[in-house]
Structure 1
Amino acid sequence: MGSPTTNRNSVLIAGITPYFLEKGNFWFEENLQQIIQARKTQSFFKNNVLCLETDQKYNPYQLLRELDEIGYEKVLQVSEPGEFSQRGGIIDVFPLNSNNAVRLEFLGNTIDNISQLDIKIEDESTTKLLLKKKLKSQKLFSDLKGLKGGDFLVHLDHGIGIYRQQLVIGNQSYYQLEYGAGDALYVPVGLERKLSRYVGFIKPGISRLGSLAWQKIKKRAKEKAENLARELLDIYAQRTMSLRSPYISDEEIQNQIVGTFQYKETPDQIQAVKDIENDMSKPEPMDRLICGDVGFGKTEIALRAMIKAVASGKQSAMLCPTTILANQHFQNFKDRLKVLPIKISLISRLQTKKEQNHIIQELKDGRVDVVIGTHRLLSDDVAFHNLGLLVVDDEQKFGVKQKEKFKKIRSSLDVLSLSATPIPRTLYLALSSLRNVSLIQTPPEHRLPIKTEISLFNKETIREAIINELKRNGQAYFLYNRVKTIKEARSFLEKLVPEAQFSIIHGRMKEKDLIKVLGDFQNRKTNVLIATTIIENGLDLPNVNTILVADASLLGLSQAHQIRGRIGRSHIQSFAYFFYPSRLNHLAKKRLQALKETEGLGMGYQIALRDLEIRGAGNILGKEQSGNINQIGLNLYCQMLSDAVERLRAVKFTS
């Protein structure tokens, strides 16, 4: 706590507005009398300036409300301009127009004493600049579009409440929020920047108005956001200090790769390729995240980046979360690269120890240009001759130890991460100055939305769906997520649709058998694949355009969305059937409804997939931040992170 240094008779407190943020503190001293005069005749000054003096009659609760309304933030303890705190009859304020905080002591409804605290700022310009940025970020991060009664909102000073309605009292419109113990808060329209929509992993606890608990929670979250900002800035600084030779362009090789791509690039893909080319032409290593819905062409962008690295005499590696995915990428890349003098290898548990050792030796000697593998690539015995680029497919699927390895690798290596989990716009804004992010949101040309049907488990529908697919020489997935009884499911289907050839895959099979079954399915020796959620990870078979899910009530929304994304990979109309048992709980019903609402293309980015977004946020920020996100909501957390980054940057710059 700051202690009073000098007593004073009066204090002027200017509101947090763009107009006042442009003015230096000297301007307020010079124009003090004119400002006091303007308060009597002009509504702007009346609404945005407080004049307080000793012995003045003033209800302390009215002052707290007015400080809130002129944009000041309530905190546990003031430390910078634009903040206020209260303890009993003492209110501390750090005016925007002062280099020092002040203390107001009340005796009942009278200001008994005004004193200056020994809490001060050294650099007025930097502080004003940070406040401007904070004002801007509050507006950006509030996310109040499409607000409905019953939605959870976070008020910067009072915590989490329930939005009830917008109403007019007198001539002023207000947002009405309900808090614990039936308390109500009325927030004037125009002060939206103090509100943010609550997005979290759990249903939040409702705050009590006037309780210190929220200020403590906020202080803790702010400290954690600062720590993360420091960590991110350190990684960023290390990357800017690590230098490597810029990659060269080889038009001939790039043109050959582009020529073997069978689709037309989307505008987002073209932009992402340009972003990567720009990153790779700089002397600092690249660290870019490609975020895009399932089937929107992230792998193609990665392939082109890997070939660019190889053309510059470097090796490229692609890390995949599963053997199935590694094998699929390997087969696709091998096919695309067959016309080029580029050696590509696969390293996973599919090979014998002897084969693995041979590939590891070739990597060391520089005889392999491109390697695709599972976490086996991160083993201590794997060394590269000249690794330039690491592509990480679905980074969030890797464990803590593997992520630690990424952190060590990151500062010296070019890293391209791919994620099919969309990230919220607010997180994108908070990270955009630290980590380069490319969003792939436009679907490929002629791609049709997947027709989605949600219904009770129904034999006739299953038979009809499979028969219709066979009639057009297509294939289907039947998702059955119980390994114990999967053979019984096969018998049931063989009796129901004797015209079809069925095969089974699940996670407990030997990987060699698994790849063989998949290979047979890919080569159309079978036409219905009965599978567990093992197919969730990136299978890309354009001839499979029907998926039937035996019990969708067991799936989370993001998982169901990913699984549906296994089909609809071409211009052919595809169909997804999500069946559920006779009894369905409320949450499962809601999830399935959201799935129906998001059958459009790129809908992974729409509001109904908020649980996807929050997962995306958790994946990027790390598990240790989840608790803070839950307590204050993702939007406020991202705002704090953004503010912390700006503040730390300003401190570094001025020092």
Structure 2
Amino acid sequence: MAPLSFPVPPLPKSGQLRAFWRAPASPTALAWHIACAAAAHRGPLLVVARDNQSAHQIEADLHTLLAGDDSLPVVPFPDWETLPYDQFSPHPDIVSQRLSALHRLPTLQQGIVVVPVQTLMQRVAPLRYIVGGSFDLHVGQRLDLEAEKRRLESAGYRNVPQVMDPGDFAVRGGLLDVYPMGSDTPLRIELLDEDIDSIRAFDPESQRSLDHVQAVKMLPGREVPMDDASVERVLATLRERFDVDTRRSALYQDLKARLAPSGIEYYLPLFFQETRGAGAAARDATATLFDYLGESVLPLLAPGVGAAADAFWAQTQNRYEQRRHDVERPLLAPEELYQAPDTLREKLNGLPRIEVWAADHARIDEAQALGDQPLPPLPVAAKDAAPAEALKSFLGSYPGRVLIAADSPGRREALLEVLAAAGLKPEVIPNFAAFLPSPTGRRWREAPDEGTARAPSPSKKAAASSESSTAARKQTASGRTLTPTPLSHGDSLRSPGGEGLGGFGGLDVAPAAFAIAVAPLDDGFALDEPRIAVLTERQLFPERAGQPRRTRRAGREPEAIIRDLGELTEGAPIVHEDHGVGRYRGLIVLDAGGMPGEFLEIEYAKGDRLYVPVAQLHLISRYSGASAETAPLHSLGGEQWTKAKRRAAEKVRDVAAELLEIQARRRARAGLALQVDRAMYEPFAAGFPFEETTDQLAAIEATLRDLGSSQPMDRVVCGDVGFGKTEVAVRAAFAAASAGKQVAVLVPTTLLAEQHYRNFRDRFADWPLRVEVLSRFKSAKEIKAELEKVADGGIDVIIGTHRLLQPDVKFKDLGLVVVDEEQRFGVRQKEALKALRANVHLLTLTATPIPRTLNMAMAGLRDLSIIATPPPNRLAVQTFVTAWDNALLREAFQRELARGGQLYFLHNDVESIGRMQRELSELVPEARIGIAHGQMPERELERVMLDFQKQRFNVLLSTTIIESGIDIPNANTIVINRADRFGLAQLHQLRGRVGRSHHRAYAYLLVPDRRSITGDAQKRLDAIASMDELGAGFTLATHDLEIRGAGELLGEDQSGQMAEVGFSLYTELLERAVRSIRQGKLPDLDAGEEARGAEVELHVPALIPDDYLPDVHTRLTLYKRISSARDSEQLRELQVEMIDRFGLLPDAVKHLFAIAELKLQANTLGIRKLELGENGGRIVFEAKPDVDPMTIIQMIQKQPKLYAMDGPDKLKVKLPLPEAADRFNAARGLLAALSPR
């Protein structure tokens, strides 16, 4: 696409160094003005953001706004995303992006460079290293594989068995696989004799080859050189300047072995300086980003940059002072690694620049307004009688053009439906660029006879070919066409008000007056020039404003996970609410009333078969409660199931009453509300060094809301290991402690108590709140003194094991109890917690919740927050179940040690752990192995753990004492010996020890010959291996029920009924019982009709065709989710998800959703069945429908030829309805007519 035309914003004038902008109300509007400034400036525009999050947002918004314009490249220079002086390295993806930017910047003529201010302060490798360390490989080039292997290792690339991350390479026969830094994909280089025969990109996951390329630029593999001369230079500096103990220092030993230790980037200047001195010598050896950008750079400083630089510098100095005394890992002074804020200001003061000031800036009156206006919320509510009244009013009064920016193709389709219902029909255009005039005199225009056009953004190749008539028509996913039409000069469109819309950028070319495009932007904005308004989903759906777009992921509700049918295999037991337990035999297509439909086939006792239409899958649930082989199959039509269900319902009624009594006691205790001091809380929250995920923010806000409630909180936060549960507890503890209440943090192990103590202490360091730990690592005298301080209020947050529950622990004013890993406490501890529950706020953290917790959460008696979104860049742990194999184990050790990482080796037998250490030392001589187990003296165990944390050894050989152990982000491989002896939740918890940083993590589960292990052990291993995606803990909790049986987890009194009806139906019965008791009614033990819902039959194909979605498990899951949707919004979100995942919906799927929507309406009216065919149909009512009888009488009286009663509960409809559309319209009209006015 040709360059876009931008208005010229205020730039520094001739003879002036600065231009001052008033910050727009919308961050996206700022991105627009940044693009305008970059287009007007002849040189690179350096955008300096206040932090990583705002840099990511600016970058993402620029990519959306500039999509299709290659003349203004956006070059991010990302932060390492580590804290100053961290002992682990940035993710290879980040290093790859940074090296790519450093290589590109010196030749960047025009474009936008986006960098957080703390990253701009970093000193980087000099230009000579980037240029001198780069080389080319091309087809036809002679290549000596052995020499190339040495060159890659010297350049910092890692020799690995399988290439997965940037910086990896592997040599196999005549193939060289390499993932070049700066490349989007790894490359496979094939040799013929000693010449490069071909170079192909390949997928690192599947290892399948993709496109051919002719040449590749190889950048250095690291930001520090690992050649012999550079490493020897660093070793000499460590000896001479820092006088390190060369035998004890892990840093020195790793470098000597030519391993790059984690965190080596914080020694970057030492690799480049020729002298051993500090200060100026180190600074002169490095470069800054300005050295790469040249003299034509124009910095643009976003709001808050100065304060952010000062805060980062203070944090760096603080961390330096805390860590500088470690003689084994000496640190470079902050001035050697970063430019101080004053140095940076001095540099910037010598350059022309743009400063963007926030509204509260002291000199804001001197800043120039940029000509943008804030947009009001324009809520669109599909259920309202006038769903888009505010939007219509805005469109009628706004004097310019309007674009609706959808987040994705699925959201676009959903928005189009809502807008069409309101009588609004925006033109569909491919992207934001198509909304702007183009100097070519072209715009995308609909082909007049094809209906509304939808197309992806045209590629460079397509744009070039569009000059010829043969390529003039673009075929879209929906079969419609989009035609680029040249407009003659002056052929401008006119707005609805009649004003000409041309004149922008010297052209009389203007796109649509009202349009919609896929343009994922965070905020809307309105501009004076050009006169356009961009509306995002934040304006149209304000209730979603708390869900940041870029991190939003379809969260899985606990009920959905428990009742998910996606993992069903043929022969698995399932439960039909009306007919009992049978075996799933697959999905089949049958003709029903002349129309194809998909049915679930279930086999019952005596070989009977039941075919369940997909619209009734809400009556189907997975059977969890006993082993699949021994599940009790019922007979169709027999009484066995009816009796079993009634017994379960009776038990459920009693359980519901007990649980509600606990809740009533809690609610009776008023006056516990804590006033969260936002003036203190907000700066504390800002001190969290990472970007919160959406789920994490939601959990935090829900917890703060609960604390502010007058009723005691009882919230469960369920999130996988490493997903940020601890920060939820930290925020809650701060809120409670700053409100004058004491906080107790209860954990299952001493090691976990010590870790939480360090985390809480670090986060509370700048606040006048005291944190202590009750630990067996302390003497009796120390513990006594601390208990006295707890009693008189001298300690705000106390952390400990079940010791905190003993009678001698007295609090002055306990307000909050945090329980970590509730499932690991014994019965007595849980009883003590149960007593606490009615008196204080209770927050429970868990990765794999016990089913009783699920029970209460699903019954709505304990509030549940699920953190299912992993932190950014977190990778799933790759899990292997294998027999002991020396070659495989040595490879696993070497892979981890080569990248400077650490390993856990779990051997759960204290007697033979010494022998295992000797075996491992012989297998991997370069490993430094430490031992930890529960029978060691307390002080020695603590020392071993701290030594491992400080990387004094790189392999920890331990028992299960590490299960809830310390957090070591640098440890990314775990080997579990005899994994068949562990429970499922335990395996998941152990696997969670690794994968806590940005690096790919590996778990090796070692087992003997599979034929010699038990069936249950085999199932556990299969479950843990298959559930290797992030956030699997909740799903694994449900597998635990199936494998271990309900009795072991829930107690025998509930397990009998649960085994008969299955856990899923049991929890549903419990929900219904709780709902009835809350409404003051006795639970109906024979109830079932409410779950069955209305039946809607319109004799149209309503299914998910297998040519649209071939995977039967995914189809089954989606059928279940559609039939179980509780409201129109859930159905709409499901449509969006399906379009985004699988493409535009075929008619049969649209019918499926439309019928589901009609069912929801029919349910609210008490309609049992709605059936319409070519010649009309009938409506069958429940015994007590929610329909005014007079409405039916009036319908019959007014149109007796169309309507008539057929018995007391049936309304006959005599309408010719030959087409599907006729039936859907008639059904909607009938339901609207019957609805209460």
Instruction: Report the equivalent of 1:388.
Output: 815
Deviation string 1:566-585 (CA, Å, 9 cap, x unpaired) is: 11111122222222223444
Determine if the alignment matches structure 1 residue 155 to structure 2 residue 576.
Answer: yes
Residues in 1 aligned to 2:772 and 2:788: alpha-carbon distance in whole angstroms: 12
Residues in 1 aligned to 2:921 and 2:801: alpha-carbon distance in whole angstroms: 35
Residues in 1 aligned to 2:903 and 2:1045: alpha-carbon distance in whole angstroms: 29
Contact 2:985/2:1037 (<8 A) preserved: yes
Residues in 2 aligned to 1:141 and 1:537: alpha-carbon distance in whole angstroms: 26
Query: Which AA in structure 2 matches 1:218?
Result: K
Deviation string 1:164-205 (CA, Å, 9 cap, x unpaired) is: 244567736654332334444454554444432212253322
Cα distance, 1:484–1:208 mapped onto 2, change above 3 Å: farther
Determine if the alignment matches structure 1 residue 228 to structure 2 residue 655.
Answer: yes
Secondary structure of the 1:484 match is coil
Contact 1:200/1:634 (<8 A) preserved: yes
Out of 718, 735, 749, the residue aligned to residue 291 of structure 1 is 718
Within 5 Å, give how 1:212-291 maps onto structure 2: 212-291=639-718
Cα distance, 1:304–1:617 mapped onto 2, change above 3 Å: farther
Instruction: Report the equivalent of 1:604.
Output: 1033
Moved more, 213-222 or 413-422: 213-222
Residues in 1 aligned to 2:971 and 2:718: alpha-carbon distance in whole angstroms: 24
Contact 1:478/1:530 (<8 A) preserved: yes
Query: Which AA in structure 2 matches 1:343?
Result: R
Higher relative contact order (CA 8 A, sep 6+): 1
Deviation string 1:422-447 (CA, Å, 9 cap, x unpaired) is: 58999589636322111100001121
Out of 1043, 1060, 1067, the residue aligned to residue 638 of structure 1 is 1067
1:264 positional shift: 1.0
1:552 positional shift: 2.3
Deviation string 1:616-636 (CA, Å, 9 cap, x unpaired) is: 998996664333322211111
Secondary structure of the 2:1080 match is helix
Residues in 2 aligned to 1:407 and 1:590: alpha-carbon distance in whole angstroms: 33
Cα distance, 1:289–1:470 mapped onto 2, change above 3 Å: same
Within 5 Å, give how 1:312-323 maps onto structure 2: 312-323=739-750
Deviation string 1:104-143 (CA, Å, 9 cap, x unpaired) is: xxxxxxxxxxxxxxxxxxxxxxxxxxxxxxxxxx999864
Within 5 Å, give how 1:360-439 maps onto structure 2: 360-421=787-848, 427=854, 431=858, 433-439=860-866
Deviation string 1:3-35 (CA, Å, 9 cap, x unpaired) is: xxxxxxxxxxxxxxxxxxxxxxxxxxxxxxxxx
Query: Which AA in structure 1 matches 2:1039?
Result: D
Instruction: Report the equivalent of 2:753.
Output: 326
Out of 358, 368, 373, the residue aligned to residue 785 of structure 2 is 358
Instruction: Report the equivalent of 2:1078.
Output: 649
Query: Which AA in structure 2 matches 1:309?
Result: A
Residues in 1 aligned to 2:991 and 2:641: alpha-carbon distance in whole angstroms: 41
Secondary structure of the 1:461 match is helix
1:310 positional shift: 0.5
The percent identity for this pair of structures is 44
Instruction: Report the equivalent of 1:553.
Output: 980
1:415 positional shift: 0.3
Out of 592, 596, 601, the residue aligned to residue 171 of structure 1 is 592
Moved more, 611-620 or 519-528: 611-620
Query: Which AA in structure 2 matches 1:639?
Result: E
Deviation string 1:229-279 (CA, Å, 9 cap, x unpaired) is: 112211221222111242122335424433442221111111111111111
Contact 2:669/2:838 (<8 A) preserved: yes
Query: Which AA in structure 2 matches 1:641?
Result: L
Secondary structure of the 1:199 match is coil
Instruction: Report the equivalent of 1:67.
Output: none
Residues in 2 aligned to 1:330 and 1:617: alpha-carbon distance in whole angstroms: 35
Secondary structure of the 2:911 match is helix
Residues in 1 aligned to 2:632 and 2:780: alpha-carbon distance in whole angstroms: 53
Cα distance, 1:354–1:262 mapped onto 2, change above 3 Å: same
Contact 2:1047/2:1056 (<8 A) preserved: no
Query: Which AA in structure 2 matches 1:198?
Result: Y
Query: Which AA in structure 2 matches 1:539?
Result: I
Deviation string 1:504-531 (CA, Å, 9 cap, x unpaired) is: 1223334333222212211222211011
Residues in 2 aligned to 1:202 and 1:436: alpha-carbon distance in whole angstroms: 30
Out of 941, 946, 967, the residue aligned to residue 519 of structure 1 is 946
Out of 989, 994, 1004, the residue aligned to residue 577 of structure 1 is 1004
Instruction: Report the equivalent of 1:595.
Output: 1024
* TM-score normalised by L of structure 1: 0.73
Contact 1:388/1:414 (<8 A) preserved: yes
Query: Which AA in structure 2 matches 1:375?
Result: H
1:162 positional shift: 1.0
Determine if the alignment matches structure 1 residue 200 to structure 2 residue 619.
Answer: no
Moved more, 462-471 or 558-567: 462-471
Determine if the alignment matches structure 1 residue 627 to structure 2 residue 1056.
Answer: yes
Residues in 2 aligned to 1:301 and 1:195: alpha-carbon distance in whole angstroms: 36
Within 5 Å, give how 1:493-512 maps onto structure 2: 493-512=920-939
Moved more, 238-247 or 143-152: 143-152
Cα distance, 1:457–1:515 mapped onto 2, change above 3 Å: same
Cα distance, 1:587–1:620 mapped onto 2, change above 3 Å: closer
Cα distance, 1:437–1:178 mapped onto 2, change above 3 Å: same
Moved more, 442-451 or 588-597: 588-597
Query: Which AA in structure 2 matches 1:594?
Result: A
Query: Where do 5+ consecutive residues of structure 1 fail to align?
Result: 1-137
Secondary structure of the 2:711 match is coil
Secondary structure of the 1:289 match is strand
Residues in 2 aligned to 1:474 and 1:344: alpha-carbon distance in whole angstroms: 31
Out of 552, 563, 575, the residue aligned to residue 990 of structure 2 is 563
Contact 2:1023/2:1039 (<8 A) preserved: no
Cα distance, 1:538–1:223 mapped onto 2, change above 3 Å: farther
Query: Which AA in structure 2 matches 1:463?
Result: R
1:589 positional shift: 4.4
Residues in 1 aligned to 2:754 and 2:763: alpha-carbon distance in whole angstroms: 14
Cα distance, 1:601–1:617 mapped onto 2, change above 3 Å: farther
Residues in 1 aligned to 2:826 and 2:856: alpha-carbon distance in whole angstroms: 26
Contact 1:326/1:372 (<8 A) preserved: yes
Contact 1:430/1:641 (<8 A) preserved: no
Two-structure CA RMSD over aligned residues (Å): 3.1
Contact 1:290/1:417 (<8 A) preserved: yes
Cα distance, 1:624–1:323 mapped onto 2, change above 3 Å: farther
Secondary structure of the 1:547 match is strand
Query: Where do 5+ consecutive residues of structure 2 fail to align?
Result: 1-558, 1084-1237
Moved more, 252-261 or 534-543: 252-261
Query: Which AA in structure 2 matches 1:438?
Result: S
Cα distance, 1:431–1:139 mapped onto 2, change above 3 Å: closer
Moved more, 361-370 or 160-169: 160-169
Residues in 2 aligned to 1:345 and 1:501: alpha-carbon distance in whole angstroms: 33
Secondary structure of the 1:524 match is coil
1:158 positional shift: 3.4
